[in-house]
Amino acid sequence: QVQLVESGGGLVQPGGSLRLSCKSSRSIYSFSSMRWYRQAPGKQREFVAGITAGGETRYADSTMGRFTVSRDTRNTVYLQLNSLKPEDTAVYYCNAYLSIGAESWGQGTQVTVSS
């Protein structure tokens, strides 16, 4: 339905920061919300943060105020990751959500937090 491409992942030390980007082939305002998920090896994919077309944001409790989701005026959603911890290590995925049964996923970008 839509192509999503994440970027910005990498290797950082504990306490470091990264800014992830998700570029959509369509306007992000075409969707009900844009969401970020993550999945660590051997674990289920979990919700991290999201922003609605109206600009409302929601975060998982696990972020503990360290992450911020934002957007530009066209096709890109961002996830600012601050004060990173080893347990944040995962593949981070972008999700474009319209309704149940109408959503798309990116290929993911790897975030590794290690010293």
For 8-114, list the strands marked E by DSSP: 10-12, 18-24, 33-39, 46-52, 57-59, 67-71, 76-81, 90-99, 102-105, 109-113
pLDDT tier for residue 62 given thresholds of 50, 70 and 90: confident
- pLDDT at residue 31 in the model: 96
Residues with Cβ within 8 Å of 30's Cβ and at least 6 positions away in sequence, in order, are 2, 98
Measured between alpha carbons, how far is 14 from 59 in angstroms, rounded to an integer? 21
pLDDT tier for residue 64 given thresholds of 50, 70 and 90: confident
- pLDDT at residue 63 in the model: 86
Average pLDDT of the segment spanning 79-102: 96
Give percent of the chain with pLDDT exceeding 90: 94
- pLDDT at residue 106 in the model: 98
Task: Give the residue among 109, 99, 111, 95 at the shortest CA–CA distance from 24.
Answer: 95
Q: Read off the pLDDT of residues 7-53 as tens digits, 9 standing for 90 and up.
A: 999 999 999 999 999 999 999 999 999 999 999 999 999 999 999 99
Lookup: tokens for 108: 């993911």
